[in-house]
Structure 1
């Protein structure tokens, strides 16, 4: 929000306050500033001049020789500008003048003709190109109105001014206006706020003879009001109006459009003017668009609408996209004689979705989507009519058509002064609090040591007691609130879940993994990238109402896409090897569309790639984590139907009847979707379930008194036999004396038939109460071997 200080002074007297103090105090009272600019700060020696003669340059087709009256004398200036004529009032940089960029004007000759100065464009006075009127764009700044010739241009155009740019938070749409910022200024400096005096005289006829209004979709339009003006005279706005708009970042168009923009900036509520004679059937209908309906907006673009878009229509077609932009068919032009002024209150969510859906964001939509006070609509309409009368731009037709059934009422909220003081850490009297709140135009009454605060409808952000604590604190002054230490004993400790999470992270750090943190919101395409089936529950997502963009429009149901993006980015930056993990939440809705809060589940996702990295590195890392967390009796089951993973290099982690997660090599098709060639390995584990299985307590046993004995077993089995199949049989038949077993070799090659492999195990036997005999060990060994031969067709190598 750009706020010209001289315009601000029209509503609150701050002549005695320096710009430095003004900015500092407003910042400390909660109005964050982006910057402060001085208008025409590098402009010196530029005066008002009148062109009295224009002739072609005798030696150059594209140059003109002008004679310019600058008050005390007439000077000759050669210019290449083509938008000037005799009688134009223009800014003139005399010899010795200084312009932005260090430019100094000198006396010279252009193609043999003397030039004693320069005619200036608006840009050369410090204005940006986007606010320059069209008639002065790429040319000399033509001044409209009466001026004193020879007067310093900064005084003539009120350029001895400062412009403060404020960052307005979404919860304070009331501050997207000059009056809103004046209200903040008045409250901060204990000054009186002066509202514009609105007085309309000589109204004629009756508006009901000109137009009828029907609001069909009242859920999207809370209030809709119109006034009409006849005998309109379209012309350039007076210079004071153009300059105010330009300083506030708005390009002047014509008197009618400029007045509506002026009032929008003044009151913070957008207005729109239709050429009433171009409205078919002399009727306005506020309705949802018909699917596929087309409207050509004021920017000349044809836009296709759907039934989610609200439009303003006449009896035949849409004439405006509600809250966003008007239509070209009813645009106010130089031939317009009668206008219809619209001011409305639209559903902010609808406007936000419409603006995003059609790809068009305007000054109007940016205000409507934050929420507009519906109770200032008639005030804004009357203000426009008043200014039209003052500029002699038309005759105001009597009456207002105002459809407002569901009126927004003021709220009364109770505030406890003791509570306010306790939270802020100060000791303000009740009277001081009443004074602060009253300066913000809140109606306050004290009743039994409680303040009953009536909140005006322009402050829709004030909903509960804590909001008033902030209001008191910021107006009192954050900078003068003394720092104090908290009272009482403060204790803190991690919960068991937090301890386990920290311990798990330390395990992963020790294994060489780096922790990453990614956004909880992703785009629908991320699920396509990892080939999630359409029927998968992972497609049931929580959609954001106000996303930053399509790529951040849903809450994630899996962390794999985020992990893939991180690893892909590292690959594209020539990082040869990476090990990463994230413990984050996924969001699973109970139903779609979402009606209740979704299930939030913590997930551990691990990812790795590199020249010497394979599936078993990832599996080993998972096993290490489970071992150190005291999780036993889990299994890795081959998985061939998970579309994200390679069908021959993927496993499901199972604990009893529960699935803990999946791990494996990412499917080549998924790799191709990310535009890389590397093999990537990812594990996706339900961390909430891990928390329930973790056993960090340790039971220590004495060292065994009796020796162990071992046997090696080399088996030839078919390729499709898994190590787990062999180990299940070894474990089931090992009895009480089998202490441990370990796979120490897998061999394929000479002496091993095609389609077979050799798997060698070391088996360790021990009894806790005696020394084992060979007969005891051989008996168990033979039993194991027999079962392997019978069930797996294994042969002893």
Structure 2
């Protein structure tokens, strides 16, 4: 938001420099990012009239001008400008003048002809090109015919000003206007706010006989004010109005359009002027747009409207997108004679959604989005027709159509001075609180020791007592609140258990050689086919986006592995044959009857190719046992109990190389080699392995507190055992039997050999175990160890039919 210092001075008697005002505004909560002085470099530039133009005798593209600048003699100036004519009034840089970007004017000769100055364009005066018409942006700046001669052009063009760049918080929609900022300035400086009331002279016709307004969507349009002015003459705005608009970043267009923009910046109320004669039967209907309804907006772009949008229509169709932009058909043109002025209050949420959906943001929509003063609509309309009458002539119809279905009353809030003192930690006198409330244009009544504060509707952000306390704090001065140390119990910042587990898992994956990546949460529906999922898979139940950027990102993911496979696919296309990547993110499942999906944190990892070769270790394939080893390391590092790996069937994984990970019987994840069809679908070479873990299940898993254990004092006894079992017997089942039978003396068991072939019957396999026995209080005897080995062998024989190998 840009605010002109000179414009503010029209409403408040400001007796401090612009920079000091900016500092005090910042301290009061309205941050000023910068203070610009557009004419800081300009010196010795006046207005002049071109009295004669002759061709240059030595140059076809140059002209010699005689320019009257109010001195005894006219100046002779050589120029190459093509947009000037005799009688034009223009800015003239005299000898010794300084222009923008450090340019200094000296008397010189151009092709043998002396030039005693320079005719100036807007850009040479430091004016922004985008805030001028195209012909003025690059040619000489042509001023109005009634501009006086010989006056300071810097002052005439409003360049002797300071522009305050405000960085407003979302709640301060009232400060999106000059008078809104002036209100705070008056309170800060303890000055009176001067707000002149509109003075309107009306004609004989009454507006009720000239137009009709119907609101069919009162929940989206809570008030609509219309005024009519006839017989206007469209033309350029006077210089003072153009200067005001350029100062706040708006390009002047015509007197009528400029007035609507001026009032919007002055009062914060967006307005729109319709060509009255183009409105069918002069009937305005405010309704929801029909789905697919079209309108050509003022920027000459055809827009398709949706049923959630609010449209301003006549009896033939839309003439404006409410609160965002007007329609091209009913715009004000040079031929416009009669006007209908709209001043309304539209639902902020509706305007925000419409603006975002259409990709169309305007100064108008920015103000409606933050909320305007619903009780200021009529005043803004009156101010607009007053200025239009003064600048464009015409006759104002008597009265205004004010369709206000449900008037809003002002809020009254109890403010307790002792509460102010307790919250701020400083004693603010009750009289000072009273003064601050009045300075903000709030009405105040005393109620014993307390105050009843009535808040006008131009401050919709004030709803509770604490909001009033904040107003006291910022205007009393935050710098006057004493610095104190915090009191009460304090806590040390630390990660939650879930955050710590996630952090530990991330470090473990990196230590295992995986690279962390981040992929999109929005995916294409085809990933389910690529992942070999059946049509009835629950993972195909997804959350669909209403406004997807493209079909490639039209749903929210329920699986994360596809995103990692796409990363490996891109790497493979760049000749990177080996890769291991992981991601910790969320998947999204729709919940029946709820608008928001269920978000589940997941760890997913994919690897392809071989591990890196080092000087002392050859490359090894990243196969099923590699990825299972990663999963086991993750489980061991987190000290999880009750974890089991079991054979599993998953349509995305190889039917014989896949295992599920269970914690106390609850499914936590899946690990294994991906199905060949999936590898082919993603155009990968070789084998690819994947791991996916539901972090919610991992968070719930039992993690016993780590306890200190002293080093063993007695020796370890190692024994080996080889058995024959049927091929379908799983190693995990045998390990569990051995662990139960070995009791407390068994400290560890590993499988060191699995054999099938000669000397082993068909349908059987030989499995060899290495076991370690140890006691804490004695050295184990051979008898004790042999007894444990016999018990283990008998248990294996009884439970899985194992036979000892001879």
Q: Normalised by the shorter chain, which TM-score bucket?
A: 0.7 to 0.9
1:725/1:317 CA distance change after superposition, 3 Å: same
1:473-508, CA deviations, whole angstroms, 9 ceiling, x for partnerless residues?
Answer: 1111122322101234x243689x935753663575
Q: Which residue of 2 aligns with 1:4?
A: 4
Q: 5 Å matches for 1:452-471?
A: 452-471=452-471
Check the 8 A contact 2:232/2:393 in 1, yes or no.
Answer: yes
Check the 8 A contact 1:542/1:589 in 2, yes or no.
Answer: no
Q: Which residue of 2 aligns with 1:80?
A: 80
Question: Could you state the TM-score of these two structures normalised by the residue count of structure 2?
Answer: 0.84
Q: Which residue of 1 aligns with 2:33?
A: 34
CA distance in structure 1 between the aligned counterparts of 2:413 and 2:516, rounded to whole angstroms: 41
My pick for the range that moved more, 530-539 or 242-251, is 530-539
CA distance in structure 2 between the aligned counterparts of 1:172 and 1:137, rounded to whole angstroms: 34
Check the 8 A contact 1:663/1:681 in 2, yes or no.
Answer: yes
Q: Which residue of 1 aligns with 2:177?
A: 177
CA distance in structure 1 between the aligned counterparts of 2:103 and 2:762, rounded to whole angstroms: 87
Q: 5 Å matches for 1:370-389?
A: 370-389=370-389
* C-alpha deviation, 1:203, in angstroms: 3.1
1:772/1:164 CA distance change after superposition, 3 Å: same
Check the 8 A contact 2:539/2:559 in 1, yes or no.
Answer: no
Name the SS of the counterpart of 2:101 in structure 1. Answer: coil
1:428/1:186 CA distance change after superposition, 3 Å: same
My pick for the range that moved more, 95-104 or 214-223, is 95-104
Question: Could you state the TM-score of these two structures normalised by the residue count of structure 1?
Answer: 0.85
Check the 8 A contact 2:525/2:555 in 1, yes or no.
Answer: no
Check the 8 A contact 2:24/2:188 in 1, yes or no.
Answer: yes
CA distance in structure 2 between the aligned counterparts of 1:563 and 1:23, rounded to whole angstroms: 51
CA distance in structure 2 between the aligned counterparts of 1:282 and 1:41, rounded to whole angstroms: 50
* C-alpha deviation, 1:97, in angstroms: 1.9
Q: Which residue of 2 aligns with 1:780?
A: 792
- Please say if 1:126 is aligned against 2:126: yes
Check the 8 A contact 1:540/1:592 in 2, yes or no.
Answer: no
1:166/1:529 CA distance change after superposition, 3 Å: farther
CA RMSD of aligned residues (A): 4.5
Check the 8 A contact 2:600/2:694 in 1, yes or no.
Answer: no
Q: 5 Å matches for 1:388-467?
A: 388-467=388-467
Aligned residue pair count: 781
Residue 662 of structure 2, aligned match among 654, 665, 682? 654
Name the SS of the counterpart of 1:228 in structure 2. Answer: strand
Q: Which residue of 1 aligns with 2:618?
A: none
* C-alpha deviation, 1:654, in angstroms: 1.9
Q: Which residue of 2 aligns with 1:524?
A: 522
* C-alpha deviation, 1:713, in angstroms: 3.1
Residue 711 of structure 1, aligned match among 691, 713, 720? 720
- Please say if 1:729 is aligned against 2:734: yes
Name the SS of the counterpart of 1:39 in structure 2. Answer: coil
Q: 5 Å matches for 1:537-556?
A: none
My pick for the range that moved more, 737-746 or 598-607, is 598-607
* C-alpha deviation, 1:698, in angstroms: 4.0
* C-alpha deviation, 1:671, in angstroms: 9.6
CA distance in structure 1 between the aligned counterparts of 2:26 and 2:551, rounded to whole angstroms: 34
Name the SS of the counterpart of 1:397 in structure 2. Answer: strand
Q: 5 Å matches for 1:753-792?
A: 760-764=768-772, 771-772=783-784, 774=786, 777-778=789-790, 780-781=792-793, 784=796
- Please say if 1:626 is aligned against 2:619: no
1:300-334, CA deviations, whole angstroms, 9 ceiling, x for partnerless residues?
Answer: 11112222221111111211111111111111111
Q: 5 Å matches for 1:282-297?
A: 282-297=282-297
Check the 8 A contact 1:33/1:165 in 2, yes or no.
Answer: yes
Check the 8 A contact 1:225/1:402 in 2, yes or no.
Answer: yes
* C-alpha deviation, 1:704, in angstroms: 9.2
My pick for the range that moved more, 452-461 or 224-233, is 452-461
Q: 5 Å matches for 1:208-607?
A: 208-488=208-488, 490-492=489-491, 498=496, 501-502=499-500, 505-506=503-504, 509=507, 512=510, 524-525=522-523, 536=538, 582=584, 590-594=591-595
Q: Which residue of 2 aligns with 1:54?
A: 53
Q: Which residue of 2 aligns with 1:693?
A: 702
CA distance in structure 2 between the aligned counterparts of 1:229 and 1:6, rounded to whole angstroms: 30
1:320/1:789 CA distance change after superposition, 3 Å: same
My pick for the range that moved more, 396-405 or 78-87, is 78-87
1:515-536, CA deviations, whole angstroms, 9 ceiling, x for partnerless residues?
Answer: 99999x9763388778798975
* C-alpha deviation, 1:659, in angstroms: 2.4
1:574/1:707 CA distance change after superposition, 3 Å: closer
CA distance in structure 2 between the aligned counterparts of 1:568 and 1:617, rounded to whole angstroms: 20
CA distance in structure 1 between the aligned counterparts of 2:81 and 2:3, rounded to whole angstroms: 32
| Structure 1: gaps of 5 or more residues | none
Check the 8 A contact 2:718/2:770 in 1, yes or no.
Answer: no
1:573/1:430 CA distance change after superposition, 3 Å: farther
Check the 8 A contact 1:282/1:314 in 2, yes or no.
Answer: yes
CA distance in structure 2 between the aligned counterparts of 1:188 and 1:161, rounded to whole angstroms: 21
Check the 8 A contact 2:224/2:404 in 1, yes or no.
Answer: yes
* C-alpha deviation, 1:254, in angstroms: 0.2
Q: Which residue of 2 aligns with 1:146?
A: 146
* C-alpha deviation, 1:543, in angstroms: 8.1
Name the SS of the counterpart of 2:205 in structure 1. Answer: coil
1:147-203, CA deviations, whole angstroms, 9 ceiling, x for partnerless residues?
Answer: 332222112223211001101222111111001111111112211111133110133
Check the 8 A contact 1:609/1:680 in 2, yes or no.
Answer: yes
Name the SS of the counterpart of 1:737 in structure 2. Answer: helix
CA distance in structure 2 between the aligned counterparts of 1:752 and 1:548, rounded to whole angstroms: 62
- Please say if 1:96 is aligned against 2:96: yes
1:640/1:162 CA distance change after superposition, 3 Å: farther
1:223/1:748 CA distance change after superposition, 3 Å: farther
Check the 8 A contact 1:629/1:695 in 2, yes or no.
Answer: no
My pick for the range that moved more, 191-200 or 620-629, is 620-629
CA distance in structure 2 between the aligned counterparts of 1:113 and 1:640, rounded to whole angstroms: 94
1:439/1:570 CA distance change after superposition, 3 Å: farther
- Please say if 1:199 is aligned against 2:199: yes
CA distance in structure 1 between the aligned counterparts of 2:191 and 2:674, rounded to whole angstroms: 67
* C-alpha deviation, 1:735, in angstroms: 4.7
My pick for the range that moved more, 203-212 or 706-715, is 706-715
* C-alpha deviation, 1:683, in angstroms: 3.7
CA distance in structure 1 between the aligned counterparts of 2:725 and 2:96, rounded to whole angstroms: 100
* C-alpha deviation, 1:470, in angstroms: 1.8
| Structure 2: gaps of 5 or more residues | 613-621
1:573/1:309 CA distance change after superposition, 3 Å: farther
CA distance in structure 2 between the aligned counterparts of 1:25 and 1:674, rounded to whole angstroms: 62
CA distance in structure 2 between the aligned counterparts of 1:80 and 1:483, rounded to whole angstroms: 64
Name the SS of the counterpart of 2:730 in structure 1. Answer: helix
* C-alpha deviation, 1:361, in angstroms: 1.1
1:576/1:26 CA distance change after superposition, 3 Å: farther
Check the 8 A contact 1:12/1:191 in 2, yes or no.
Answer: yes
CA distance in structure 1 between the aligned counterparts of 2:627 and 2:761, rounded to whole angstroms: 30
* C-alpha deviation, 1:424, in angstroms: 1.6
* C-alpha deviation, 1:709, in angstroms: 4.3
Q: Which residue of 1 aligns with 2:617?
A: none
1:743-781, CA deviations, whole angstroms, 9 ceiling, x for partnerless residues?
Answer: 335689999999999865424467999733647625633
